[in-house]
């Protein structure tokens, strides 16, 4: 089964925008799953020595009716036939990963995932989907809206964008290509778990990605928790309840993911 759906506004209108969460629950279309006819192919593989350790890096090319992209898989270990493999599906964030922005925790999440994979064997799948799919220039435009008091969700909305344009069909192909039978997903985002489940990826559990909030990223993380329902520790989420555990298994009550 695949997911079928897999100009600046006056700040005075802001209250009308912020009434609604970004995603109302797992069945919401707030996070779309675009490109149901995506075709992904393997391109090349090579050894990639890094400051953290050695990875096998595999390049792919995905083509579909709505977008083309070149996902990357950073692999540690022989994963053929393996179950419960640690997997991070990481969406590109050039502002933090290249330019060092402190506005989000994306760079730290990527670093955490690479170190985890090196220790436990698994794969980081790097998806070129900047700014939840709106692109780098539009993301910077949204950043400018945040200077006017909008959070990350409303900044996109007042610019005319949906909450999320990311697509994960190519992840399904990459996992099959690597021979992985089931995964534990490194994520704080329950919506990503749901979408991968819709693509028939066998997700056995969730591994939280624990990154302390910084001075510049605090508001962003609060918005992710309150508006997009990310599962964050209370010091990041600005809530009374700690929604994060060290590792989680998913059962039938979680939608069979």
164 is known as an active-site residue? yes
Using CA of residue 34, residue 174, residue 132, residue 139, what is the dihedral sign?
A: negative
Q: Which listed residue (157, 163, 164, 227) is catalytic?
A: 164
Structure token pair of residue 115: 């170190």
Q: Which listed residue (58, 107, 157, 166) is catalytic?
A: 166
DSSP states of 37-94:
T-EEEEEEEEEEE-SS-EEEEEEEEEE-SS-EE--EEEEES--TT-SSEEEEEEE--H
| Residue 235 near residue 189 (C-beta atoms within 8 A) | no
Q: What is the rounded distance in angstroms from the CA atom of residue 129 to the CA atom of residue 139?
A: 11
Question: To which H or E segment does residue 217 belong?
Answer: none
Catalytic residues: 164, 166
């Amino acid at each position: 089964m695949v997911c079928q759906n897999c100009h600046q506004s006056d700040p005075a209108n802001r209250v009308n925008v912020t009434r609604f969460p970004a995603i109302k629950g797992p069945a919401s279309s707030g996070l779309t799953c675009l490109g149901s006819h995506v075709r992904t192919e393997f391109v090349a593989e090579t050894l990639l020595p890094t400051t953290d350790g050695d990875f096998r890096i595999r390049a792919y090319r995905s083509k579909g009716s709505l977008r083309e992209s070149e996902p990357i898989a950073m692999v540690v270990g022989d994963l053929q036939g393996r179950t419960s493999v640690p997997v991070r599906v990481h969406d590109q964030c050039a502002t933090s990963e290249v330019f060092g922005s402190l506005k989000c925790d994306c760079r730290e999440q990527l670093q955490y995932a690479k170190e985890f994979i090196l220790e436990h064997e698994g794969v980081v799948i790097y998806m070129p989907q900047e700014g939840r799919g709106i692109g780098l220039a539009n993301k910077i435009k949204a950043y400018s809206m945040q200077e006017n008091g909008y959070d990350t969700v409303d900044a996109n909305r007042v610019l005319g964008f949906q909450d999320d344009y990311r697509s994960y069909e190519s992840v399904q192909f990459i996992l099959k290509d690597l021979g992985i039978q089931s995964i534990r997903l490194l994520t704080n985002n329950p919506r990503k778990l749901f979408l991968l489940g819709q693509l028939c990826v066998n997700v056995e559990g969730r591994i939280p990605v624990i990154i302390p909030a910084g001075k510049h990223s605090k508001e962003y993380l609060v918005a992710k928790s309150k508006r997009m329902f990310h599962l964050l520790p209370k010091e990041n989420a600005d809530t009374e309840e700690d929604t994060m555990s060290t590792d989680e298994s998913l059962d039938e009550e979680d939608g069979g993911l």
